[in-house]
A and B are shown apart, each in its own frame.
Chain A
Amino acid sequence: MFPIWIITKREMASFFDSLLAYILLIAFLGFSGLFTWLLGGDVFMVKQASLQSFFGVAYWSLFFFIPALTMRMIAEEKSSGTLELMLTKPISDWQLVLGKFLSALLLIMISLALTLPYYITVASIGPLDHGAVWTGYLGLLLMSVAYISIGLFASSITTNQIVAFLLSLLIGIFFHFLFGMLAQYFPGFIGKILNYLSLQAHYQSITRGVVDSKDLIYFLSLIFLGLFAAETTLAKRNINDN
């Protein structure tokens, strides 16, 4: 079996053993369900079959949940010393990082899949723009993957899980809305760069139903950069540091 998958299996088992997975699933489904059906701009209030409020809530709740998921992944192994145990087994740094990445991705995919009943029920009560829903899910998925790789990087540079959590939120905030906000204050070239860096802008362009290769390249490079930085942090031990 592939080493990446062995690591992923163990991580998944540890999610479900530690209740983390259940808490996350319940909280995520609870929040998004609440706002889809009962609170604020829910379907009955706007009197329209739409998943707009669901995507709005998911956009923010995933932003907070993903760092909670990734914060322990490398930091805990560093502080307990199991990282040394892992990296002296016949696996590479990349395989370890990718295994962990994949496990977080799978859990997010499970939680997104569990919201499909919302989609089905909303679709049954009125006409729904199906294309927008699917691109909405695609946007959420790409955003999640980007934050997972940022979270893994944050987890790789510290042995303290809280530091890892806060750091990935801090990095995330820039992509989530700060770049987009700043872009409005800077005209011209700088504004364009900031706008391109803004994850929000790319997310919105995908959820609007336009899946542009420019947006995909943006997400893929963000994911690669996060994972690459995490792997580089691990590999630093070969040069000088612990």
Chain B
Amino acid sequence: MDIIVQHITKKFGSQKAVDDVSFTVKTGEIVGFLGPNGAGKTTTMKAITCYFMPNEGDISVGGYSIRENPSAVKKNIGYLPENNPLYKDMPVIDYLHFVAELHGIPENRINARILDMVNTCGLEGEKHKKIGELSKGYQQRVGLAQALIHNPNVLVLDEPTSGLDPNQIIEIRDLIRKIGQEKTVILSSHILAEVEATCDRIVIIHKGKIVADGTTALLRQQSQGREILKVTIEGGNKNEVFKALQGLTNVQMVDMLSKSDNTFEVQSKPDTSSRRDVFRLCAKKGWDLTELTPTETKLEDVFRELTLN
């Protein structure tokens, strides 16, 4: 089931929390929704899950429009809201039973579904405890279990791992990856490593607008688009080497990285490479090329570049 978001705008007062946002999530895809706090991630997710209507634009989930057929959309979505709200005074089993009833699962199939969820989410030992008595990690699992109980085609998870310890984070991520194989998943986060580890695609949102959309590799490339080399050349005068490097046809910029030895950062012009030229230059001049490493742009840098203004 595809999620198609078309030009949605949502205002709070005069402020636009989401401004003309469009994107598509395909079946079987796990999309990470990334952005600084207050960028509009949660607002977009609330619109997808029909918590509120956007002021403008439309969203379709599996062909159903949130404006024309919200109840069909809701039936197909499993939603884990931000901060994982739960009825703390209810026992886990009762709570799952209640949610299953709300989703219209027939009474004779509810117990099987609950059992399935208890197994999938690892709640076996806690199922009779009150939700409020559980640790945060287990509460998060209850949140996931209630989102999955009706076996939805679409999963919307708002910061699914916030507040968990590293082991729990890895468990939840594995669970999401496992579930995400046959479902459409959209998850939000402001932790880059998490999105990189779980998602096939990343959508970066900033100040209510989408600033990037693509795979991690594509994003890295798009943001820099230029080759950066770390070069160390020995056996030559520093200034002479610097000038010679700058004189290469494909080189845009040369930076001295250290004062003591001849290490430079060489940035090529867009869509070109100067690796061969650097090597030939050294061979011609009789210098020793001791290091030539392409530097990979970190996703953090991409993120900072896109969202810092």
Residues on A facing B (Cβ under 8 Å): 1, 3, 6, 10, 13-14, 17-18, 80-82, 84-85, 87-92, 237-242
Contact = CB atoms under 8 A, between A and B. Distances in A.
B46 interface: yes
B67 to A, nearest CB: 10
B57 to A, nearest CB: 13
Contact of B99 (A84, A89, A92): A89
Contacts of A80: 85, 88
Contacts of A87: 50-51
B46 to A, nearest CB: 7
A68 to B, nearest CB: 17
Contacts, number: 67
Interface residues of B, number: 33
A240 B51 CA distance: 13
B86 A82 contact: yes
A18 B132 CA distance: 13
Most chain B CB within 10 A, of A1, A14, A89, is at A89
A168 B53 CA distance: 29
Contact of B85 (A14, A82, A90): A82
Contacts of A240: 11-13, 55
14 contacts: A1-B107, A6-B98, A10-B87, A10-B90, A18-B89, A80-B85, A82-B85, A85-B86, A85-B146, A87-B50, A88-B77, A90-B102, A90-B104, A238-B52
Interface in B48-95: 49-53, 55, 71, 74-75, 77, 79, 81-83, 85-90, 94
Contact of A88 (B11, B79, B90): B79
A88 to B, nearest CB: 4
A90 B81 contact: no
A84 B104 contact: no
Interface string B120-154: 00000000000000000000000000100000000
Contacts of B75: 90
B285 interface: no
B102 A88 contact: no
B304 interface: no
A85 B85 contact: yes
Contacts of B99: 89
Contacts of A1: 101, 107
Interface of B: 11-13, 46, 49-53, 55, 71, 74-75, 77, 79, 81-83, 85-90, 94, 98-99, 101-104, 107, 146
Contact of B71 (A81, A82, A90): A90
A91 B98 CA distance: 13
A158 to B, nearest CB: 18
Nearest to B76: A90
Contact of B12 (A85, A88, A89, A241): A241
7 closest cross-chain pairs (CB), A and B? A81-B85, A90-B74, A238-B53, A88-B49, A82-B85, A237-B52, A89-B102
A15 B176 CA distance: 36
A88 B46 CA distance: 8
Contact of B102 (A6, A14, A82, A84): A6
A89 B103 CA distance: 7
Given A13-B94, A89-B99, A89-B102, A84 B12 contact: no
A92 B55 CA distance: 19
A91 B75 CA distance: 9
A85 to B, nearest CB: 5
Contacts of B11: 240
A57 B101 CA distance: 40
A12 to B, nearest CB: 12
Given A6-B102, A17-B90, A88-B51, 14 more contacts: A6-B98, A10-B98, A14-B90, A80-B88, A82-B87, A84-B46, A88-B77, A88-B81, A90-B102, A90-B104, A92-B71, A237-B51, A240-B12, A240-B13
B98 A242 contact: no
A17 B132 CA distance: 14
Nearest to B158: A84
B74 A88 contact: yes
Contacts of B79: 85, 88
